[in-house]
Chains A and B, each alone.
Chain A
Amino acid sequence: MVPAPLPVVLPLLVAAGMTAAGRRLSRRAADLTSILTAGATTALCAGLVVQSAHHYVVYWFGGWKPEHGIALGIAFVVGPFGAGLAGLAALLITLAHVYSWRYFEAVGTLYHVLMLVFLAAMAGFCLSGDVFNMFVFFELMSVSAFALTGYLIEESGPLQGALNFAITVSVAAFLMLSGIGLLYGRTGALNLAQIGDALAGKKPDGLVIAAFVLVSSGLLVKSASVPFHFWLADVESVAPNPVCAVFSGAMVTLGVYGVGRVYWAVFEGSLGSHRAEVRGVLLGLGVVTALLGGVMSLLQSQLKRLLAFSTIAHVGIAIIGLSLLSPLATAGAALYALAHGTAKASLFLSTGVLAHRFGTVWEDELHGRARRLRLAAALFALGALALSGLPPFGTFLSKGLIDDAARQASLGWVGGVTALASALTGAAVLRFAAHAFLGWGVPERGAPSPHEEEAETRGERWRTPAVMAVPACALLVLSAAITFVPGIGRGAESVAARFQDRGVYASQVLHVPAPIPAHHHLEPASPSASAVESGLGSSVLAVLLAAALVGRRRLPRGLGTRLAHVLRPHSSLLHSVHSGLVGDYVAWLVFGVAALGGLFALALR
């Protein structure tokens, strides 16, 4: 029996302890303490996944159990998805600390302390069953993330990135809080199950729609979906690489998880009567996010920015999975988050190896210089193929589940969108790798001026320390290992069926009798032949696309110039939209909320 609060409480206590010890704690001791704490948290979360496999683990803080369906206290309601996501966050923090061992330039124990608080906040967000408690964890996560973004204070970039991050996400927090206020005003409750019970069976009115739009917009900002995505590229192009690995690998996924958790626990009883409309709006959001992210990723020549846009594309794929609202698709989205999160974190850690060796992550400056880094080259190539969905990486399996679910809903074209987005992001990384490691083609012009990435590491630069490479390898292995877990698709699907059942959730949390025992017809979820085909297809497309970009000069003259002619105006428009000005971002954010509100208002009335 794992006590549910421990994944939150343990890192918080250790963070306070390390602050008290301060500089008395040696660097080695601080690293070791962090690794052990985050590692123990990973194990605790894994324990919770097993423990909650068939029944939610419900934990009432202060022992204030609900009476007559009314909750006075705060509950953790742990299911396998929440615990699994918390475990992924903990694992990435553990590996980030292994990566940072000795070489990463740490300021006293502040880096360790903030990473542990960040971990506690992410775990709490995943485990909580109370909407205000989720908000508080959202805030705690944000504050620690802002600080970690601005970590390298010597240059203006990180501070600017942290500022854009802070302003955008603070607006998101206000949105979420306003939505919570509306819900509390109507129902007098903050417990997800209790609000869900109060709203169930009633026709959605303005308050319910506004609350849904506000809460989910707040969470979608965190998940960096279009048009709330702008901050992510600014943040990840300047934040330290191990921090980016956690942001892209776990934090953005939390936003998608939050939308799902809140929708099925709170709003499903009211909005569920308009299933097709909700699916349509969310699907549109996912498709736009996946494609725009993919195209923008291909247009970047700074590696970290490229990876950030690629994350946006893959978040789009996860949102597509969520939007289909079926257990099969949700299972696919959950496994996709795991498969993509591990692969992307691996790529960011490999990026750290490049930054450590060459002091730059710009494509033109690295051109051909990294020829001798064979391991890093292999890591980049495999990571790119994992992004493009090559079997046996978990991305192909989980994308296959999403595609199957889309076909069942007579939305076969969705499979084309997910394949294209995967191919675009895979091609972007492959092109970068061909330029940097092989020196093929001509240097991309891109860097506005010669510049030095601020060193975040120290120590000898002519060798890649093993501690930097091993976590990246382990993450790729993990991303592929998902496919070989027997029955993982089936298991995830039955968990997803429970995740979507508001009645079961409410009865297990509030101990009120369940309305009707739900029966779910589960389709066999195994890597189907079409998933393998589609995965291979998008990978081949990625390779061809990358080859065409690298060998652009060798294309037939007419084709090459025509291609450039068609692409340039669009790409300059896209670049100008991603201006780096936080005022623009907030304007787009408000636009996004208004658009979502308008669409839902039209669809649900």
Chain B
Amino acid sequence: MSRRIRLILFLVSGAGFAALLVWGELGLPPFGRYQGPYGTILDSVAVLQRHATDVVASVTFDYRGFDTLQEEYILFAAVAAVTLLLRAERDESWQPPSDEAAGRIVARPSDAIWLIGLSSVAPVVLLGIYVVTHGHLTPGGGFQGGVILATAPMLIYLVGEYRTMRAVSPTSLVEVAEAVGAAGFVVVGLAAMIAGAAFLTNFLPLGRIGSLASAGTLPLIEVSVGLEVAAGFMLILSEFFEQTLELRHRRARE
């Protein structure tokens, strides 16, 4: 199909497609007039039922927690996919990638960047842990906090300490952390089944509303998702680093 025919096909069909969408959306309730029973009911019962002040967290990790388990596994599968596709090819040691500029010299970062970068690592880790563990109280949680945690090794890399970064996040350990995080969510769900309830039913005391140790199993799930997300992102980063940096190192040695 030539470019021109494809474009005509797309434009004509696209117009029909757009008309279908508009036609469908005209049937929606007007902006700001929420009609559904779901949000209204949850607004009134969620805090009392789950003792979690962040209703979004109780929806994502309890009422619709099973969806979130699959979403966690989507990331898990994506990490496995990246690892699979970026693995070293059989001939890669003797055939260096050609899209690298030969003899490119990277300047060392200035002392200011080095100092500010490294000194913000600890606060970033602390913030990440805070966001992960307070997901049931305030906006945030395992997914958001996990991403923040994964930026800590990134900061170390950015100040030019690649080998330090690899040393503080060795792949073998991060892989185990990722798997433990993914399995943790499942195990919390299965524990409820072993106790005789449905999968993912809360089995811990709910605690006082607003305190850190409240909302039953929610914080446990948040921590396990946080671990999975942080480790997953670190693994994706390190796979890309291996593809570019390590191969360059190997060639530089030759």
Contacts and interface: CB of A to CB of B under 8 A. Distances in A.
Interface stretch (A258-266, A324-332, A405-413, A576-584): A576-584
A189 B77 contact: no
Interface residues of A, number: 81
A43 interface: no
Contact of B81 (A17, A64, A114, A588): A114
B74 A210 contact: no
Interface in A85-109: 107
Contacts of B16: 594-595, 597-598
Nearest to B177: A20
B190 A60 contact: no
A114 B183 contact: no
Interface string A14-26: 0111011010000
B24 interface: yes
Nearest to B42: A72
B1 A62 contact: no
A583 B76 contact: no
A581 B178 CA distance: 36
B175 A19 contact: yes
Contacts of A22: 172, 175-176
Given A16-B183, A20-B176, A209-B24, A133 B66 contact: yes
B84 A114 contact: yes
Contacts of A151: 84
B28 A207 contact: yes
B24 A182 contact: yes
B20 A597 contact: yes
A140 B66 contact: no
A117 B75 CA distance: 11
Contacts of A581: 1
Contacts of A137: 70
A154 B90 contact: yes
A587 B20 contact: no
B181 to A, nearest CB: 8
Contacts of B12: 591, 594
Interface string A127-163: 0000011001101100110110011011000010010
Interface string B7-43: 0011011111101110111111100001111110110
A2 interface: no
Chain A at the B interface: mostly helix, strand, loop or mixed? helix
A59 interface: yes
Contact of A153 (B14, B26, B29, B85): B85
A205 B27 contact: yes
Given A61-B66, A72-B41, A587 B13 contact: yes
Contacts of A33: none
A110 B78 CA distance: 11
A203 to B, nearest CB: 12
Interface string A457-474: 000000000000000000
A47 interface: no
Given A3-B193, A16-B183, A61-B200, A591 B13 contact: yes
A117 B186 CA distance: 13
Interface in B177-198: 178-180, 182-183, 186-187, 189-190, 193, 197-198
A593 B24 CA distance: 13
Nearest to A110: B84
Contact of A178 (B21, B69, B71): B21
A184 B69 CA distance: 21
Given A110-B80, A117-B76, A178-B21, A577 B201 contact: no
A114 B36 CA distance: 38
A72 B59 CA distance: 9
B42 to A, nearest CB: 7
Contacts of B193: 3, 5
A601 interface: yes
B26 A207 contact: yes
**Which residue of B21, B73, B186 has the most chain A CB atoms within 10 A of its CB atom?**
B73
Interface string A57-82: 00111111000001011100000000
A19 B179 contact: yes
B41 to A, nearest CB: 7
B63 A72 contact: yes
B83 interface: yes
Nearest to B50: A62
Contacts of A140: 70, 73-74, 77
Contacts of A117: 73, 76-77, 80
B64 interface: yes
Contact of A147 (B63, B85, B190): B85
B198 A63 contact: yes
A59 B80 contact: no
B117 to A, nearest CB: 31
A588 B197 CA distance: 48
B65 interface: yes
Given A61-B65, A62-B201, A144 B24 contact: no
A207 B84 contact: no
A188 B84 contact: no
B201 A136 contact: no
Nearest to A120: B73
A595 B9 CA distance: 12
Contacts of B13: 587, 590-591, 593-595
Nearest to B7: A587
Interface string B68-104: 0111011011101101110101110000000000000
A374 to B, nearest CB: 34
B87 A153 contact: yes
A466 to B, nearest CB: 28
Contacts of A579: 1
A188 B39 contact: yes
B29 A16 contact: no
Contacts of B81: 114, 143-144, 146-147, 150
A450 interface: no
Contacts of B246: none
A423 B15 CA distance: 39
Interface in A158-189: 159, 162, 178, 182, 184-189
A154 B89 contact: yes
Nearest to A208: B27
Contacts of B27: 182, 186, 205-208, 210
A70 B41 contact: yes
24 contacts: A12-B73, A12-B182, A19-B80, A19-B179, A20-B180, A61-B200, A63-B198, A64-B63, A114-B81, A136-B67, A143-B78, A153-B84, A185-B28, A186-B27, A188-B37, A210-B24, A210-B27, A211-B24, A586-B10, A588-B9, A593-B17, A594-B17, A595-B13, A598-B16
Given A188-B39, A591-B12, 9 more contacts: A3-B193, A19-B175, A107-B87, A114-B77, A132-B64, A147-B80, A210-B24, A210-B27, A597-B20
